[in-house]
Amino acid sequence: MTINETLTTEAGWIARGGTPVTPRTGRLRPLGLREVRLRDGFWQRRQQTNRDNSLAHIEQWLEKAGWLGNFDAAVTGDLPAARRGREFADTEVYKLLEALAWEHGRTGDEEIDRCFRSIAARVIAAQEPDGYLNTNYGRPGQAPRYSDLEWGHELYSFGYLIHAGIARARTAGEEELFAAAVRAADHVCDMFGPGGIEAFCGHAEIEMALVELYRLTGVRRYLDQAKLFVDRHGHGTLADIEFGRSYFQDDIPVRDADVFRGHAVRAVYLAAGAVDVAVETGDADLLAAVTRQWRNTVAKRTYITGGMGSRHQDEAFGDDFVLPPDRSYSETCAGVGSVLLAWRLLLAQGDLRYAELIERTLFNVIATSPADDGTRFFYTNTLHQRTVGAEPPSDVQVPRAASNLRAPWFDVSCCPTNLARTFASLAAYVATSDDDGVQIHQYTAASIDTVLPDGREIGLEIDTEYPADGRIAIRITRAPETPWTLSLRVPDWAAGATLDGLAISRGLVQLRRRFTAGETLVLDLPVRPRLIAGDDRIDAVRGAAAVQRGPVVYCLESVDVPVGVPFDSLHLDPDTEPADRDGTVVVTCRTTPPAKLDWPYRPLTEAPGDGVPLEVALHPYHRWARRGPSTMRVWIPLTPER
């Protein structure tokens, strides 16, 4: 019996609060949302804002925009005339349902439960007898079912419906929404299985959902169908489009590709689904292929923030090392997808590099998108904002990526709902267990209470202000009489880290011994600021530096530049170390104004003067634009060499 099989029954997961990913085998075992509880700290405050503000905000906008009403119109026969929103608008309702399910699972909140049941009833009422459920296709006056697999998002929508049903089953039991999700999955298998439509959806998502449904039910056809979808990619099955077939990963088979390409969200979602298939089928070659692509993408096509996607026109990856800060698309949903993929790889292989990228992405993409009150969001996450712009009114729905400040809702509002389900399930990504102990991957104030497969009970309490402070106190609250292993991740940036005052190396620290309830271990990670240079092959940032403190990337905003000093005239002095002043990083810059010419180029010998040294404050990138409109840059030009 595997490490998971003893603990993954429906009743077991309900008691443990559920978790989004439950592989039947792998190096590590995920923990449930009641096994890991966030306590007051960086992430708990954001999770609480999501619960208190974002969920209601999203529900209100789904009603206001008419996307929830589409399901009512399907029941009353008022489609297509009454339909509102894009072809994939149904998915935002499903993602809200998933977020509500996880939130209820971890808290038991009755009001959250009532909201879930009310919305779910409206969705279920619109499902057709054969399991099909989509408000944009198949009725009189609408396009036929599956007539636009390139852009229609029907299977993509089914995927989110299934995820919502699974979240409910994992947290409350197999209720009506789960039954609707099973009917939808059976419909998909009937239509796209052997002898059916030999194609796939232009936006990957359903692959992950089908594998997770297999993990919950044990029904093999769901896993087999997910494998079919993964294997069908890369053979020119879908129609060619202006962005090319790489846009939906139909140019190269998954097993043959060396790097992620095309639409960034589609790419990482497909890769996550492929990992799920590989793990459940024991396909080592497929897992190795995705691992290779992940490593190459992180090494050559990922921003310093962890953001993915540098092309605006097709929301896509650029070529190797094409990572311009001012053209960073870095969609919030791509950040969510990157976390989903890295988490699956971490569970399968246990490699700390995956946890490193999760940390970077959480602090510098996921935490960046929502406003402090959780009712405005970035769709894209630029690393260089050249113009101040204006914040859109709170009652206006804007085009995606149209605002350089956070907006309340978008014509394509995939990001707010994706964030909502991520924050609701965030505790699932903090720690894992295996046959011999517990592994802590993300440092945040939290309580961990779990039972190992052999029945040994382990309890931990983590106190920390991380990432503001690098001190992490881990108190043992429950411990068995026998030795067990506590594993800690020491980040690659944490040179000089100590554990109980003793120097430790970066990487994995494993403490195997008999622990005593009440004892405390103190891990100190040096979160001092440091200058970061880009690879010389990233042309766009050559001659510039970024500042990172611990896992957090910092930025320069125009609101911190003295009046009268042109923002673009500041150059960083690389010979002066950045100073840490209570969480604010202060750097020394010089003003180097451009030559006053009518031509934007000059001989190298005519470099501008160095100017007078000037101290300027930098703030965490995830906090940019929270003090009002500003220009901003992560990469700051260095003072020209004389």
Same domain? For 435 and 484 the reply is yes
pLDDT value for 609: 65
Residue 579 lies in a domain: yes
Pairing of the two strands 498-499 and 502-503: antiparallel
Same domain? For 516 and 548 the reply is no
3-state DSSP of 316-355:
ECCCCCCCCHHHCCCCHHHHHHHHHHHHHHHHHHCCHHHH
Residue 49 lies in a domain: no
User: Mean pLDDT per segment of 10 residues, for the chain of length 642 residues?
Assistant: 44 84 97 97 98 98 98 98 98 98 96 98 98 98 98 98 98 96 98 97 98 97 98 97 97 98 98 98 98 98 98 96 96 98 98 98 98 97 92 87 83 97 98 98 98 96 97 98 98 97 97 98 97 97 97 97 92 93 91 78 74 92 94 93 56
Pairing of the two strands 498-499 and 409-410: unpaired
Q: Which of 524, 552, 568 corresponds to the end of one domain? A: 524
Residue 284 lies in a domain: no
Number of H helices, E strands in the chain: 15, 24
Residues whose CB is less than 8 angstroms from the CB of residue 456 and which lie 6 or more positions away in sequence, other chains included: 480, 482, 484
Q: Specify the residue for token string 């609408």.
A: 142
Q: Which of 478, 501, 524 corresponds to the end of one domain? A: 524
Quick check: helix, strand or coil at residue 510?
Answer: strand
pLDDT value for 7: 41
Pairing of the two strands 437-440 and 484-490: parallel
pLDDT value for 1: 32
Same domain? For 508 and 535 the reply is no
Virtual torsion, Cα 418, 419, 423, 427, nearest 10 deg:
60
Domain housing 459 = 431-524
CATH number for 497: 2.60.40
What are the φ and ψ backbone dihedral angles of 453, each rounded to 5 degrees? -55, -25
Is the separation of the CB atoms in 566 and 591 below 8 Å? yes
Residue 35 lies in a domain: no
What are the φ and ψ backbone dihedral angles of 617, each rounded to 5 degrees? -85, 140
pLDDT value for 390: 81
Amino acid at 411: D
Pairing of the two strands 484-490 and 507-513: antiparallel
Residues whose CB is less than 8 angstroms from the CB of residue 44 and which lie 6 or more positions away in sequence, other chains included: 38, 444, 445, 446
Same domain? For 534 and 632 the reply is yes
pLDDT value for 270: 98
CB atoms within 10 A of CB 472: 21
Residue 69 lies in a domain: no
Same domain? For 536 and 507 the reply is no
Same domain? For 560 and 605 the reply is yes
Same domain? For 515 and 559 the reply is no
Instruction: Say how far apart CA 484 and CA 437 lie, in whole Å.
Output: 5
Q: Which residues pair with 450 in a beta bridge?
A: 458
Q: How far apart are the first and last CA of the chain?
A: 68
Angular region, 141: left φ>0, alpha ψ -120 to 50, beta rest: left
Is the separation of the CB atoms in 270 and 232 below 8 Å? no
What are the φ and ψ backbone dihedral angles of 550, each rounded to 5 degrees? 60, -135
Same domain? For 560 and 505 the reply is no
Is the separation of the CB atoms in 427 and 405 below 8 Å? no
Q: Specify the residue for token string 């009833």.
A: 121
Same domain? For 628 and 536 the reply is yes
Same domain? For 507 and 536 the reply is no
* The total number of structural domains that make up the chain: 2
Same domain? For 576 and 520 the reply is no
Instruction: Say how far apart CA 560 and CA 518 lie, in whole Å.
Output: 45
pLDDT value for 128: 98
Instruction: Say how far apart CA 484 and CA 434 lie, in whole Å.
Output: 10
Q: Which of 461, 489, 524 corresponds to the end of one domain? A: 524
Same domain? For 538 and 586 the reply is yes
